[in-house]
Amino acid sequence: MFEPAITGSGVFTPDQSISNDELVVAFNAYADAWNADHAQAIAAGKAEAMQHSSSDFIKAASGIERRYVLDKTGVLDPAVMHPLLPAREMDQISAMAEMGVDACQKALDMAGVAAVEVDAVICAASNHERAYPAIAIEIQEALGTGGFGFDMNVACSSATFGIQAAADMIRAGSIRRALVVNPEICSAHLEWRDRDCHFIFGDVATAVLIERADLAKGPRFTIKSTRCATQFSNNIRNNNGFLRRTRDGHMEDRRDMQFMQNGRKVFKEVLPLVSKHIAEHMDSEGVEAADLKRLWLHQANKTMNDYIGKKVLGRVPEDGEQPNILQDYANTSSAGSIIAFAQYSDDFAPGDTGLICSFGAGYSVGSVIVEKTT
Ligand code: COA
């Protein structure tokens, strides 16, 4: 058995961002226009007037202050209310592959590894822009990596499930190195016209390079242990897919073809699931709360992270013990915990231990215990 280690990480951040204030102005203009268009139905009690959104609510309920997106013009146009992402020609690189390549290259550079030395690319994300050929194989081609590539989807937990898959292949000896890449174009599957969730998501891509520890050229995060779990729930759902049909078989454009959630239920059900998962994982590996220098958690909601941090450590986390990036990036699905890891891991000394944890739709939860090694 070989030991796997994370030797590089990379983040691609789009150059456009939207503040809560900008977002709310667009949403409220859309709501006013919708209400004017439906004035008669509203007056007759046949339709409910749309309410205004507010920056204060968004910050208080989620901790989110802004989000990066591939296109803000469409999102902020009350007559459009979605990103304008033109279809690409067959001979152009896809949007997910393009941002994924950027993140992967940064991870390779950090580790001092050439693309050709990589045996597998796993593109783990919550939505894929096409069915096949796999985005991972396109990234493989663009980077010039060897071996194979495949796409996988476990929603917000895609990154940690991908890390487990890569780590297991390295342990077993079937590959020496893998890139696990998470290009998340969440803006394209968010319903920007729904007041309850229009502020939740942003776009980003992250990547980690996982290598056989004995081949690593520099400092690394040894993957001590991984654990994944799922439990079916309809509370976070996106029905888009090739069978997006009505009961009598016709194609239809419906609200449930975009991200939907029952946020309150998610809070209630996911928090105990995640806390128990982490506690059992740590227990089985003999890791105590006092052994953990840092938690890099999924970035969906500040209140959720505060709760999990307190539950895992048995006290309110001190500054830096459980860093959040969601104020700047919003929820970036599977990429969130990896952004936190990439931005807050430089100060680890040999022997320091940390835990990456993601959770979300499925439900799904994945945790990775790492130890800094020189
Ligand atoms: N602006 C102003 N008010 C809003 C609003 C908005 N954009 N959206 C909702 N509200 C109001 C609601 O109307 C409600 O008012 P009421 O009490 O008078 O009925 C109130 O705010 C509370 O709404 P609720 O949806 O219960 O808010 P919340 O406190 O649960 O926060 C979320 C909403 C989505 C931020 C929160 O539920 C959440 O983050 N849940 C977990 C999400 C998650 O992890 N999802 C995983 C996705 S991968």
Residues ≥6 apart with Cβ < 8 Å to 355? 278, 281, 282, 287, 292, 294, 295, 296, 312, 367, 368, 369, 370
- Which of 103-107, 241-245, 269-273 holds the top average pLDDT? 103-107
CATH-assigned architecture of domain 222-373:
3-Layer(aba) Sandwich (3.40)
* Residues 182/341, Cβ–Cβ less than 8 Å: no
Name the region of 257 (left: φ>0; alpha: ψ -120 to 50; beta: rest): alpha
DSSP summary character for residue 201? B
Give yes or no for residue 298 CB within 6 A of ligand 1.
no
How big is the CA angle at 348 (ends 342 and 352), to the nearest 5 degrees? 120
- Give the model's confidence band at 247: pLDDT under 50 very low, under 70 low, under 90 confident, else very high: confident
Distance 60 CA to ligand 1 centre (A): 10
Distance 254 CA to ligand 1 centre (A): 22
Give yes or no for residue 148 CB within 6 A of ligand 1.
no
Mean pLDDT across 122-139: 96
User: For position 275, what pLDDT does the model report?
Assistant: 95
- Is the pLDDT confidence value at 33 over 90? yes
Q: Which residues of 203-227 are buried (b: 16+ CB within 10 A; e: fewer)?
A: bbbbbbbbbbbebbeebbbbbbbbb
- Give the model's confidence band at 255: pLDDT under 50 very low, under 70 low, under 90 confident, else very high: confident
User: For position 215, what pLDDT does the model report?
Assistant: 96
User: For position 319, what pLDDT does the model report?
Assistant: 87
User: For position 253, what pLDDT does the model report?
Assistant: 72
Give yes or no for residue 196 CB within 6 A of ligand 1.
yes
- Is the pLDDT confidence value at 251 over 80? no
156 is catalytic: yes
Give yes or no for residue 156 CB within 6 A of ligand 1.
yes
Distance 265 CA to ligand 1 centre (A): 11
User: For position 249, what pLDDT does the model report?
Assistant: 72
* Residues 198/29, Cβ–Cβ less than 8 Å: no
| Proportion of the chain above pLDDT 70, given as a percent | 99
- Which residue, by CA, sits nearest to atom 29 of ligand 1? 61
- Is the pLDDT confidence value at 335 over 90? yes
Give yes or no for residue 61 CB within 6 A of ligand 1.
yes
Q: 131-152: per-residue pLDDT in tens?
A: 999 999 999 999 999 999 999 9
* Residues 84/73, Cβ–Cβ less than 8 Å: yes
Mutate to test the pocket of ligand 1, among 153, 196, 334 (most ligand atoms within 8 A of CB): 196
Would you call the peptide bond into 68 cis, given omega within 30 degrees of 0 as the criterion? no
Mean pLDDT across 173-199: 97
What is the atom index within ligand 1 of the atom nearest the CA of 126? Answer: 48
Q: Give the residue extent of every domain in the chain.
A: 222-373
CA distances from 24 to 39, 105, 200, 255, 347 (A): 22, 36, 12, 20, 37
* Residues 267/353, Cβ–Cβ less than 8 Å: no
User: For position 257, what pLDDT does the model report?
Assistant: 81
User: For position 240, what pLDDT does the model report?
Assistant: 86
Question: Which range has the worst mean pLDDT, 90-104, 234-248, 280-294, 349-363?
Answer: 234-248
Residue type, 214: D
Q: Which residues pair with 16 in a beta bridge?
A: 69
Give yes or no for residue 190 CB within 6 A of ligand 1.
no
Catalytic residue among 104, 156, 186, 357: 156
User: Which pTM value belongs to this model?
Assistant: 0.95
- Which residue, by CA, sits nearest to atom 46 of ligand 1? 360
CA distances from 20 to 200, 267, 329, 330, 333 (A): 10, 22, 12, 10, 19
Give yes or no for residue 25 CB within 6 A of ligand 1.
no
Mutate to test the pocket of ligand 1, among 25, 27, 267 (most ligand atoms within 8 A of CB): 267
Mean pLDDT across 4-20: 98
Mean pLDDT across 208-221: 96
Calculate the average pLDDT of the chain: 95
Residues ≥6 apart with Cβ < 8 Å to 253? none
Give yes or no for residue 56 CB within 6 A of ligand 1.
no
- Is the pLDDT confidence value at 210 over 90? yes
Mean pLDDT across 20-48: 97
- Give the model's confidence band at 302: pLDDT under 50 very low, under 70 low, under 90 confident, else very high: very high
